[in-house]
Amino acid sequence: MSKQPNILFVMADQVNSAFLPAYGHPVVKMPHLDKIAAEGVVFDTAYCAYPICGPSRFSMLTGRLASEVGVFDHGCEMRASTPTVMHYLRQRGYHTALSGKMHFLGPDQLHGYEERLTTDIYPSDFGWGADWRAGTPEIPWAPSGISPRTVLEAGPCARSLQLDYDEDVAHRAVQKIYDLARRPQSQPFFLTVSFSQPHSPFVAGREYWDRYDHDDIDMPKVPPLSLEEMDAHSRRLHHMFHIDEYTVAEADVRNARHAYYGMLSYIDDKIGELTAALEDTGLLEETLIVFTSDHGEMMGERGLWYKQSLLEGSVRVPLIVRVPGQAGSGGRHVPQPVSLLDLLPTLVEFASDETPIDYVEPIVGHSLLPLLSAGDGDWDHSVFSEYSGEGTYAPGLMVRKGKYKYTYCETDPALLFDLKTDPDELKNLADDDAYAIVLADMHDELLRVWDPEQYRRDALASQKRQWFIQGVLAKTTPNPWDFQPFTSAKDQYVRGGANTTSVKGQARFPYVAPAEPDKPRTE
């Protein structure tokens, strides 16, 4: 590209890539995202680096594992001094803005964004962290409200908290695209648009529910497993989610999936609004578009819901990239395993015009540019993911290399799967002597990245700090950190002292120069 591209970075929350039509799902309807995929590159095997909202986002924005930046669970803040992709892009002349959720905790609610267009849908305090001191080995402590209730209560609605929020996110993002197009200077922008849906509760707007025939909704490939068939972490999640206390019938599962599909179609319509604004302003072919999610959703597979595990349904995410000017050569699928950690170096490289990049701290991710340009023959990077939130008492650590996936937790039996022959992770090879060398190699790769014992100590110390602070704040002053966006009407509309005609003319896009008189004025 001859100049730095604008970047539109779109996130939906809790999207399992297996449910997108671009990944082969036969029922879900997302024509706008399908168009982006047909003109871009689809990464078939993309992973998040931590299967829960906040830590996943922080790792993605830094190109480093969450534990490396001191984030161990959903109640940890990221230090304000941690470099993010926004800082690197601003260094290269970009304007950075966020519309939507990002789960920033603590006093820094920007982390490199120059402006936020909305508040967050969730609080910014430390109250959602793990507490390994609570619960029992069989039934871990969990934040209040985690249960199959959202499955049993799934269905259509006229309005919901998430619809209210996502409408605001989309409206402000579209308005921002027009505002950016009106600027006289040609500064590139990085606009993040981060939606709350299709995160549970599974409640879809009536219009989107009605887009699907209920009988067409497919059911889980893998039925509920017995406790004996489950791995140790899945058993803990089963108890933590109180699954055995509720009767979840086939009709409930179908309702939840129906709502999830409707929510995906809603997100697709919002993607269509964003791309229409880019096209309307002439910015589409100057803008790199990235679509992804923070983590997956089990959606009833194996009898599990939500995320919080290192199973494929929880850690696999969509990743679709449309490069401006390359729509004619799009529609390509990349099979190699990649990570959301790879996004930071990819975006910074797009913004750098081949100038050397000096990262302040070592990053884990690798630029995806070779894969985007089809030069993928030498790609052989391992993918890493971690989990140390509720539902466990020691960090769960995952390595994906080639066709093998290895998961280690010091309290649990090891897991090793050949995902080429066993994509549903039903046959654990860790105790098979024929795979002893593979297991040893994967464990060595894991130890190259983590010290499990030190990780556990650090996570416990972090929990102790955050729960102490949270308890003090809860008893004294309310949380002062929740972000409140400020908008000035004088920057949008006519206010005193301004020339009405001039303000209206400047708001018109495309801009039309004022008509000048061509006749002499008569006295």
pLDDT per residue as tens digits for the range 61-77: 999 999 999 999 999 99
* DSSP state letters, 403-428: TEEEEE-TTS--EEEETTT-TT----
Task: Tell me what pLDDT residue 490 has.
Answer: 76
Please check the confidence at residue 479 and state whether its pLDDT lies above 80: no
Catalytic residue IDs? 53, 103
Using one digit for the tens of pLDDT, what is the confidence trace for 318-347? 999 999 988 777 889 999 999 999 999 999
Length of the chain, please?
A: 523
d(CA 236, CA 503): 61
Query: What do you get for the CA distance between the two ends of the chain, in Å?
Result: 57
Residue with tokens 């790199």: 288
Please check the confidence at residue 513 and state whether its pLDDT lies above 90: no
* Percent above pLDDT 70 for the chain: 98
When comparing pLDDT for 465 and 186, which is higher? Answer: 465
When comparing pLDDT for 478 and 259, which is higher? Answer: 259
When comparing pLDDT for 133 and 424, which is higher? Answer: 424
d(CA 493, CA 426): 60
Q: Are the CB atoms for 314 and 398 separated by under 8 Å?
A: no
State the architecture of 24-507 in CATH terms: 3-Layer(aba) Sandwich (3.40)
Q: Where are the beta strands (DSSP E) in 101-185?
A: 115-116, 155-157
Average pLDDT in the chain: 93
What are the φ/ψ torsions at residue 431 (nearest 5 degrees)?
A: -100, 5
Name the band, by pLDDT with cuts 50, 70 and 90, for residue 429: very high
Query: Of 145, 424, 137, 66, whose CA–CA distance to 306 is shortest?
Result: 145
Using one digit for the tens of pLDDT, what is the confidence trace for 216-270? 999 999 999 999 999 999 999 999 999 989 999 999 999 999 999 999 999 999 9
Question: Average pLDDT in the 453-459 region?
Answer: 97
Using one digit for the tens of pLDDT, what is the confidence trace for 272-321? 999 999 999 999 999 999 999 999 999 999 999 999 999 999 999 999 99
Task: Tell me what pLDDT residue 137 has.
Answer: 75
- Rounded (10°) CA dihedral 272, 278, 280, 282: -150
Least confident of 19-28, 197-206, 238-247: 238-247
pTM: 0.94
Task: Tell me what pLDDT residue 504 has.
Answer: 79
Using one digit for the tens of pLDDT, what is the confidence trace for 350-399? 999 777 788 999 999 999 999 998 876 689 999 999 999 999 999 999 99
Using one digit for the tens of pLDDT, what is the confidence trace for 106-154? 999 999 999 999 999 998 888 888 888 887 777 787 776 688 999 999 9
Structure token pair of residue 89: 């892009």
Structure token pair of residue 502: 């001039």
Task: Tell me what pLDDT residue 141 has.
Answer: 75
Strands 287-293 and 319-322: antiparallel
* DSSP state letters, 257-294: HHHHHHHHHHHHHHHHHHHHHHHHTT-GGGEEEEEEES
Task: Tell me what pLDDT residue 452 has.
Answer: 98
Least confident of 35-44, 121-130, 398-407, 499-508: 499-508
* Percent above pLDDT 90 for the chain: 79
